[in-house]
Amino acid sequence: MAILPVLFSLLIATPTAPVLVAAASSSAVSFTPQDNFLIGCGSSKATSHSDGRVFIADHNSGKYFSSNGRDVMVSISSANVPSPIYLSARIFIEEATFMFPMTRPGWHWIRLHFFALSNNEFNLQNAKFTVTTDTLVLLREFNVKDNNNMNGWFFNEFLVNVTTERLSIKFSPVKGGPAFINAIEVVSAPDMLITDIGSTLFPVGPFNGLSTQSYQTMYRLNVGGPELTSQNDTLGRTWVLNEKYQAHKELGKNVSVSPTVIKYPEGGSPFIAPQSVYASAVEMGSANVASPNFNVTWNLDIDLVYQYLIRLHFCNIVSKSLNDLYFNVYINGKTAISGIDFSTLSGGLATAYYKDFIVNSSMVSSPLSIQIGPWTQGTGAVDALLNGLEVLKMNNSVGSLDGEFSVDGKLANGVNRGTVSAVGFAMMFGAFVGLGAMAVKWHKRPQGWEKRNSFSAWLLPLHAGDSSFMNSKNSLGSRKSQFFSSTMGLGQYFSFAELTDATKNWDANAVIGVGGFGNVYYGELDDGTKVAVKRGNPQSEQGINEFQTEIQMLSKLRHRHLVSLIGYCDENTEMILVYEFMSNGPLRDHLYGKDLSPLSWKQRLEICIGAARGLHYLHTGAAQGIIHRDVKTTNILLDKLFIAKMADFGLSKDANTSEQNHVSTAVKGSFGYLDPEYFRKQQLTDKSDVYSFGVVLLEVLSARPALNPALPREQVNNDGPSSG
């Protein structure tokens, strides 16, 4: 299958600092910021950071600080922290503001440092507060425990383009509790760090206005190399280790050269990333595996519903000659670059190069998957590498990097939070009353007929159709046979020839769906049975380990309202699953979008009851219970009698077996259906599925999608408060 290459321009500009950078330049350069505010909050004396920068004493920052009420300066003598700037803090009881005069407009770093000091009067671990500028929400109802940093200390980094003479940073306590801050950085950044024009992925096209956006650094990885702190980066950035995020580490190998050999291209800026980033990489060609048909993958948990600027850093430090390294890059399972050639793009070996990708919210899923893999159409080495990776969250349409509400608490359409919640609740209450009464009545039926142990050899379908999530790729043929031979309860075995005949030689016209693991084909077996055949693609983005985990979790369930597995094929490199065919397709198609007869109200009610029964069985029929996590109208399939069956369990998760009533996990699912409590707290319960099902009920009642970007802004959402 031909792959359309996606071409992007190299962003280059001349640095504003008086530094000449030639093609062969390898000397380190330093950046001198025109604005350089470093405040050690709560400190009575100047504090030296671990990188040598000096943070001024808090009492000397009075000209920048104002408070509407009481504020307290606290400090401790020692703690297990990397810098003394974390040993003091300023605590606010009322709203407080830092105001910094700007020498010149342009890009500025804002770094907010936090460490919850022990204090007799205030429990900073429970402090909850919002941090804003005049026009931008940086953190909303923020709590240090939400950061999940085991060390206790951390900092949040933002990049904003300041266009005013002053930059204000306001701290607002929530519900009468305190707010606090240990240290603040407001530092100029080079103009060329982010240019105004970029390119979007899926659909491909130009993106104008990058310079008007604000950004939060989500990830900055030094791939294949050591951690780089602000001591190693003239812009004060930190580049962390990549091992935590790299899937299947055996598929890649760390390689490195001396940073002094790294060159920047003619006109390129050394401020984009330091030489040490380009001097190390993870290379796939050195992996000790039998087959070259795999990708090296990094999985990164992100917030949904935002756009992201993804910056990938490359430098060919492994080839011996030019035109010998071509490979592909994938983002969330989509081809971002096909057949990239370093020697053409960067102008030589050991020469720094980077690419920017803007990923819009319609293709965002969590985790975000970044992959490199071989380009099989070339004659060069079967290899690929990545040197560095940055993921920056972009502010949404109301100027927020945290939540859907603006600084003044309004949505983009001007509706406040209270109005949205009230309207959404009223709509959902009406939908739930009727269904809830029927569900209670159904719940009282005899339970013996659906005991779990009676159906221990069945499997639920795995993430077919309209997938909102893509896992990492690892399609090693030698591992497939081992996997299937050790997995029990997969039903009938089919030969590849049988399934080839059933699908008429894998006719493209027989494709009825596309998922993370491959295409789904309509087929007919020799006995006339109609089936859905899910064939793993050699370019699949769903890893074998993740696939195995799903099978082990779901193979013990069967229910009338859950789509069932019929059998499988494990022949050579083929990896195929065969399911019962649902001839009437997804519920969504019958609500809108296709020329189909409308469903009667009786049919709609019966479909909703059936889906609710399948969902209820997931929650209660298994020993631990299973939470679906992606309930939506595309994942409710209808058979020839319009009997509803739940499908697509690629995001499903075992319920917690401990005394807690929730599972703490990264947010996954489809925007428009997400439970706001799950989105905010990252605590998953079966009630999260119930909320999503409530959105489904609204769709069935109104025949409107949960999210329709084609409508005017004020009409985009049909999910009430779930987007808040």
Q: What residues are labeled active site?
A: 630
Helices (H), 243-321: 275-278
SS3 346: helix
CA dist., res. 531 & res. 550, Å (int): 21
Q: Which residues pair with 263 in a beta bridge?
A: 351
CB 469 within 8 A of CB 640: no
374: amino acid identity, one letter: P
560 neighbors 460 (Cβ within 8 angstroms): no
Residue type, 163: T
* C-beta of residue 629 within 8 angstroms of C-beta of residue 640: no
Fill in the amino acid letter for 579.
Y
Rounded to 10 degrees, the C-alpha dihedral 326/331/332/334 comes to: -60
Q: What are phi and psi of 633, to 5 degrees?
A: -70, -25
Judged by DSSP in three states, 591 sits in: helix
DSSP character at residue 430: H
Question: Cα–Cα distance between 345 and 583 in angstroms, integer?
Answer: 49
Asked if 628 and 636 count as a contact pair (C-beta separation under 8 A), the reply is no
Q: Is 681 part of any known ligand binding site?
A: no
Give the amino acid at 71. D
Q: How many CA atoms lie within 13 A of 105 on its CB side?
A: 7
Distance CA(45)–CA(66), nearest Å, equals: 19
Residue in the structure block whose two tokens are 């990938």: 312
DSSP state of 508: G
CA–CA–CA angle 306, 308, 313 (5° rounding):
165
Please tell me the distance from the alpha carbon of residue 689 to that of residue 635, in angstroms, as a whole number.
13
CA distances from 398 to 416, 667, 724 (A): 12, 22, 12
Task: Give CA–CA dist 399/354, Å, rounded.
Answer: 27
Closest listed residue to residue 281, CA positions, set 413, 383, 395, 409 = 383
**Cα distance between residue 356 and residue 463, in whole Å:** 30
**Side chain identity at residue 292, one-letter code:** P
Residue from 140, 716, 97 nearest 409 by CA = 140
Q: Which residues contact 26 (CB under 8 A, 6 or more apart)?
A: 260, 261, 262, 263, 275
Residue 176's φ and ψ, nearest 5 degrees, are 75, -5
- Binding site members for ATP: 534
